[in-house]
Amino acid sequence: MIRSKIISLSNTYHYYFILFFLVLLAKRNSIFIFLASIYLIYMFNKMDKKILLITIFLSLLSLSFLCFKKIPSSIDSKVLVTRVEKKENYYQVEIYHNLLKYTFTTNQEIMIGDILDIEATTTKFKKATSKKGFNAYEFYLGNNIHGRLKIIRISKANHLYTPRGLFEKLTFNLSYQTKSYFHAFFFGEKGMLTDSLLENNKREFFSLLGISLIHIYGIKKIFSKLFFYLDLKNSTQRKLLLLIDVFFVLMLNFSFLAMRIIINTILTTINKKRYLNLSNLDIKSLSFLVLLAFNSYLIYNQGFLLSLIIIFMLDLTTDIYHGDSFLIKEIKVNTLIFLFGIPFIVNFTNSLSPFTIFLIILIKPIIKYSIYPLLFITILFPVVDNLAIKYFNLFEEVLNYLSFYSPSFLVPSFETFTILAYYAILIGFFLINKRFLKLMYPIMGSIIIIFSTFLLDNKENKITFLDVGQGDATIISYNNKTIVIDAYYGCYQYLIKNGFYKIDLLILTHSDIDHIKDANTIINNLEVKNIVGNPYDDYGLTDKIIKKKEGDSIDFSDLKIIFYGPVMEYKERNNNSLVFRVILPGVSILFPGDMEDEAEKDILSRQNENLKSDIYKITHHGSSTSNMDLFMGLVKPEIVIISVGSNNRYNLPNQEIIRYLRQKNIRFYRTDHHGSIEYYIKDKRVFTYM
């Protein structure tokens, strides 16, 4: 009876999975509740009502788990080390505690499988603090890491021998380059690869390669043929192949990619043995459903989402490549994978290159048939490590050569609505009429251009005080002009993710690293028309810096910049900061850099009413070395902005300044409390991200 029911539902299980998936995605964006409702209304008559009720119950249960799951404020216990990544001068460690993962850094040498006795406090990761900014909360949860530990006490209690730990021991004496290839191609950990291998148009390739797990499929294929030639029973073959899947699950620390393979293998075996007539799409849907039911945080994992979309879309478009020769099929399938992955590639690399398709077609076979076998041989016979290094160097030279002659285009990050629109157009195009499939490539090219143009032109007149931690970065976007004032770490990423590729003016108040860290990257990768600095600093960036000081000004039609300092050269570098006022229709902003008391006094002796500004970007991150009552009294700001890092070691901003602002009823915003602060020029509206 049950078997006949399953058979009657075959080719429909993906209906229920899609509904389950859309409900879970509502945790990321409320628009998915609307989409799930529309989908349910449209598909209601095609669904079995009992299965539908179970699906709704399971999806709501998983959603509530996502919404209400809490982590402890502290840990005082023994924990198991599951992953260690050696950085330049410290170790990045992941541990398991009560079925939850945490991460921390330490200078102490730690190995996978170590059982540590630790006392630590836990903190959650931050959500995005700027438009299209990095969402650490979702990124780490997507990898099942629930918080960061601040270690109070740590000691090694024992060691548990794990498959991954044994593997690390086997490769301990191999060269760094060989180990980096193992980590990248087997475990999807690209942190050890050289910078040249992670340049934009190659990062796209490695992103798509990372979800393929071609080495697992390749190894299973080799063993499958071996078992066939050994004339083993089918049942024995299935059990042995399942053991291989289990081995890789353990090696990959229960990675969702490896788990999906083992679940898929089990379901395929049941389907064959019980003659359930489940389609491939049914089996894939059930595999993803099981994964999400047991780990709902996978909705935050970009690799999981990308693999899901690619698998479903390839099933939808089988007519395109079915029956073609091996080479033509490879070209078509890899082109489709590229098209399906565009939103993810763009959001990960902020670049797009047709070269990625050719990389997949040309380089994937090299990796599959030469690099993987060579890595295995190196484990068995470490003496060939030097030969392997030569081959890897040759591989990188070929990759760099091909990459050098390939155009790569900067593209802004896609927002949720844009991603949905992209896939709606793509799916609609495939469903409308199969005879139009030959037009797929020019049409898709047009779609990409339209979306890119829309994103590039979608800039509002606003001032953004970026949350860059303990540093400074401000972007003024007004009437198609872009002015960047200081550029600490994170400024460049914000610019490329939001489509600011032409910078009309880059102003660097002084040469402290917390003001210019990203400046060189911006200058080298974006079109920067003019760079302005103070005349007394050696920025070490370019000889094209225009020097400005007291009395100078810059005019951009209805945008004007007036410089009030530095008035002379000071011994203290902070006092050499550019001090200037940006005047826009309806609003003025005073930027004082990091000037201190001495420079403030000199400016006060020369200026009076000129300092009056609507917004004051407070000097030196709210330090007590400046911000005298007299100076603030002349500025008379309505809004004060404090750019400061969370829990910074300088204990900034100074509490005396905070008390002063409260006493004077001056509205103030802090990047450590509010994230990035956006001021919309037209309606004088302030928006914050925290």
Does the pLDDT of residue 196 top 50, yes or no?
Answer: yes
Does the pLDDT of residue 453 top 70, yes or no?
Answer: no
| CA angle in degrees (0–180, nearest 5) for 419-420-424 | 120
What the block records as the tokens of 21 is 């998936």
Length of the chain: 690
pLDDT for 488: 96
Quote the CA–CA distance of 185 and 195 in Å, as a whole number.
16
pLDDT winner (highest mean) among 336-350, 391-405, 676-690: 676-690
| Residue 612 pLDDT level (bands cut at 50, 70, 90) | very high
pLDDT for 437: 52
Helix (H) or strand (E) holding 5: helix 2-9
pLDDT for 199: 63
Q: What is the pLDDT of residues 9-39, one digit of tens each?
A: 567 888 899 999 999 999 998 899 999 999 9
Peptide bond into 382 cis (omega under 30): no
Amino acid at 510: H
CB 579 within 8 A of CB 565: yes
| Residue 454 pLDDT level (bands cut at 50, 70, 90) | low
Neighbours of 102 (CB within 10 A): 23
pLDDT for 210: 58
Q: Side-chain half-sphere of 672: how many Cα atoms within 13 Å?
A: 15
The 3-state DSSP class for residue 157 equals strand
Cβ burial 241-251 (10 Å sphere, 16+ → b, else e): beebbeebbeb
Q: What is the DSSP string of 31-76?
A: HHHHHHHHHHHHHGGGS-HHHHHHHHHHHHHHHHHHHH----SEEE
What the block records as the tokens of 533 is 């600095």
Quote the CA–CA distance of 252 and 183 in Å, as a whole number.
10
CB 437 within 8 A of CB 427: no
Quote the CA–CA distance of 30 and 34 in Å, as a whole number.
7
| CA angle in degrees (0–180, nearest 5) for 603-605-611 | 50
What is the 3 state secondary structure string of 502-551? EECEEEECCCCHHHHCCHHHHHHHCEECCEEECCCCCCCCCCCEEECCCC
Quote the CA–CA distance of 477 and 468 in Å, as a whole number.
18
Quote the CA–CA distance of 69 and 46 in Å, as a whole number.
34
Measure CA 586 to chain center: 37
pTM of the model: 0.88
pLDDT winner (highest mean) among 95-99, 279-283, 330-334, 567-571: 567-571
Measure CA 377 to chain center: 34
Crossing angle of helices 256-274 and 302-316, rounded to 10°: 40
Q: What is the pLDDT of residues 387-435, one digit of tens each?
A: 999 998 888 888 777 777 777 788 888 888 888 888 887 777 776 655 5
pLDDT for 1: 47
In 275-415, which ranges are continuous DSSP H helix?
A: 280-294, 302-316, 318-321, 326-349, 355-366, 372-380, 385-404
CB 350 within 8 A of CB 497: yes
Does the pLDDT of residue 212 top 80, yes or no?
Answer: no
Does the pLDDT of residue 3 top 90, yes or no?
Answer: no
Q: Which of 139-153, 327-341, 603-617, 670-684 has the lowest mean pLDDT?
A: 327-341
Beta bridge partners of 101: 96, 145
Quote the CA–CA distance of 481 and 682 in Å, as a whole number.
15
Does the pLDDT of residue 191 top 70, yes or no?
Answer: no
The 3-state DSSP class for residue 452 equals helix
Measure CA 528 to chain center: 25
Q: What is the pLDDT of residues 637-682, one digit of tens each?
A: 999 999 999 888 888 999 989 999 999 999 999 999 999 999 999 9
CB 250 within 8 A of CB 162: yes
Mean pLDDT of the chain: 85
